[in-house]
Amino acid sequence: MSDVKHALRTAFAAATKHLGIDPGEIPVQEVPAGKPGDYGTPLAFALAKALRKNPAEIAASIVAAFEPPEGVLRAEAVGPYINVFLDPGAFVAGIAAGAPDAEPRDRKVIVEHTSVNPNKEAHVGHLRNIVLGDAVARILRADGYQVEVQNYIDDTGRQAAESLFAAQYFAQTPPGEDASEKLDHWYGRLYVQLGEAKETDAEAIETGVRDTMHRLEAGELRREVERIVHAQLETFWSLGAEYDLLVWESDVVDSGFLARGLEVLEASPYVSKPTDGKYQGALVMDVAEFIPGLEESTVVLVRSDGNAVYVAKDIGYHYWKVGIFEGLAYAPFADQPTGSTLWTSHPAGEAHPVGQTFAHGQEIVNVIDVRQSHPQTLVRAALALSGTPEGQEASRNTKHLAYEVVTLEGQAMSGRKGVTLAIDHVLEEATRRAAAVVAEKNPDLEDAETVARQVGLGAMRFAMLKSEAKRIIDFRWDQALNLQGDSAPYVQYAHARAASILRAAGEAGVDATAADWATLGPLELTVAQQIARLPEVRAQAARELAPHLIAQYALDLATAWNAYYNHRGEDGKPDTPVLRAEPGLREARLALVAAVKRTLADALALLGIDAPEAM
């Protein structure tokens, strides 16, 4: 909510007082193009019933009592709507001064994302998870939260075991650091081959995989899994994602989180160990009160053979995340591209390196695909059943950001069958395509390689973020790597244009200090109104965990700016030059351009997309 909108709410409320009725929350919105005024409210509709008068009459009487706040010229009743006219100069001057950062919240959010099985290269299905999680983390941080990002490593699962056993089965030696094929790709290939070999040698393979799972649980293969994780991290980093902590499933189990979580749950009246019937010998939880409408509300936590199911581990992990118990130890794992240290849970680590706990999240965001909705609900139910006040609170504050799958040219992807598209390949191709366009459009560009990477990666990230998470994305090369239209390059180009003007202004020695704001008009105002929206859009995106709102906003602002840039007067000639404008007007427009550039860059940054100075 911009300051002006806020001031208008107050002013409308005051102007409504004489009617003797509480209008409640007053909506203030941008006036549609073609209607008189700049901001307006449909407030009169809401009052019409109680006052038993027609809305237009009410609007007129509110207008009569309206005292314009600073920067607002006057109000006018447009039928039942009450619209106000802004002073363009004052408004743009306010925008040029910049928007304040969000208030720090002193509230910690743990965002869990990526969590790719450590047995193969990441593909475009994972790409959506990584980019979505990374964008949400950035947005929450910008909205004032303290954010920590965790990446869960399922190192005791079947998939890791299959890949590691495949090397043994095919008597292959994993490549070293300097090999031409990345280690994660290498294992991914063998993983698929093992799947094929199962058709003829199922029993031997099953025995080998089981044996490997035991070795994984015993920690014997940790070093090799770490090498795979390092290889995967190269991909994640190249996308611009970084993490605070890796949490290994084996460490979660070794730290006793599974056992302690079950202990907590056993005290709950909803958890029992039936001595007869279908669930004899198992530990089960009744979730009927938490998930209404289930035919079968009994969930098994520990099988009658004594083995815990997967969700039980996840429950233990979440009890730790929200601070019901402690116990992980940590060690540094890697230095990340921007210089931050990535930590990992580790059996031989220390409890509180640099005073960090990595737990005690007051809000939990789990970026996991929609097919995991059921187990996620079980985790939330288990938090509520913990019998602790933290658990109750945590259950409410744990959010599952459920995103839909990515299909490949209409086909479901399958890591098992090798029907995938590796992120590394897509990024390479995206950069190649961007480089070709750069070479064509701007052959003299310095740092063409860097720009090509920024544009190619930007296009990829934007393609994953511009629609709602619940929308299925069908990955198609020409759409995902689109460099025009509704895309990151469109926004980046708008930014580069603004940068270009500011660069030329700097060379000409023009700066914004001599601005004559009174020379500005409705064209500048329209752009400035778009700029003013970012803080409220950002707040909404944070509230709803919806990066697509930022992407759509960035497109809107770029469109408004491009339209302004290309605007022509009635004579058909450009009428919005900046540097060629009269002194005073020139400086005022320049200040607007600076605000456009800054805001475009800010919006892109929330999506993890770089804004090149030239392209």
Give dist(CA 264, CA 510) in Å, integer.
68
Rounded least distance, CB 9 to RNA, Å = 14
H or E element: which one contains 605? helix 585-606
Residues 6+ apart with CB under 8 A from 62: 12, 15, 16, 19, 43, 44, 75, 77, 82
Question: Which residues make beta-bridge pairs with 72?
Answer: 86
Alpha-carbon distances, residue 51 vs 20, 45, 66, 79, 102 (angstroms): 9, 10, 19, 17, 39
Tokens at 229, concatenated: 């994780």
Q: Among residues 178 and 444, whose Cβ is nearest to RNA?
A: 444
Q: Of 358 and 490, which has the nearer Cβ to RNA? A: 490
What is the C-alpha separation between 470 and 463, in angstroms, rounded? Answer: 14
DSSP assignment letter at 568 = B
Question: Measured from the CB atom, is 297 or 388 closer to RNA?
Answer: 297
Q: Are 92 and 525 in contact (CB under 8 A)?
A: yes
Instruction: Report the alpha-carbon distance of residue 362 to residue 259 in Å, rounded.
Output: 23
Going by C-alpha positions, the residue among 539, 545, 188, 590 that lies closest to residue 367 is 545
Measured from the CB atom, is 148 or 184 closer to RNA? 184
Closest approach, Cβ 291 to RNA, in A, equals 8
Residue 224 beta carbon to RNA: minimum distance, rounded to whole angstroms: 19
CB 134 within 8 A of CB 151: no
Write the CA distances from 129 to 6, 66, 108, 168, 296, integer angstroms. Answer: 36, 49, 21, 31, 31
Smallest distance from the beta carbon of 88 to RNA, in angstroms? 17
CB of 593 to RNA, least distance (A): 8
- Smaller CB distance to RNA: residue 574 or 583? 574
Smaller CB separation from RNA, 79 or 337? 79
What is the identity of the amino acid at 527?
V
Closer residue to RNA, CB minimum distance, 194 or 496? 496
CB of 439 to RNA, least distance (A): 9
Percent of the chain that is helix, strand, coil (3-state, to 5):
50, 15, 35
326 vs 474 by CB, closer to RNA: 474
* Whether the Cβ atoms of residue 57 and residue 47 lie closer than 8 Å to each other: no
Closest contact distance (angstroms) between CB of 192 and RNA is 17
Instruction: For the CB of residue 546, give the shortest distance to RNA in the complex, in Å.
Output: 7
Q: Which is nearer to RNA, 234 or 486 (CB)?
A: 486
Residue 551 corresponds to which amino acid? A
Distance in Å, CB of 244 to RNA, minimum: 24
Token pair listed for 50? 């109680």
Whats the size of the chain, residue-wise? 615
Minimum Å gap between C-beta 574 and RNA is 4
E-only strand ranges, 465-524 = 473-475
Yes or no: say if 365 and 112 are a contact pair by the CB < 8 Å rule: yes
> First CA to last CA across the chain, in angstroms?
33
Nearer to RNA, 28 or 166 (CB): 28
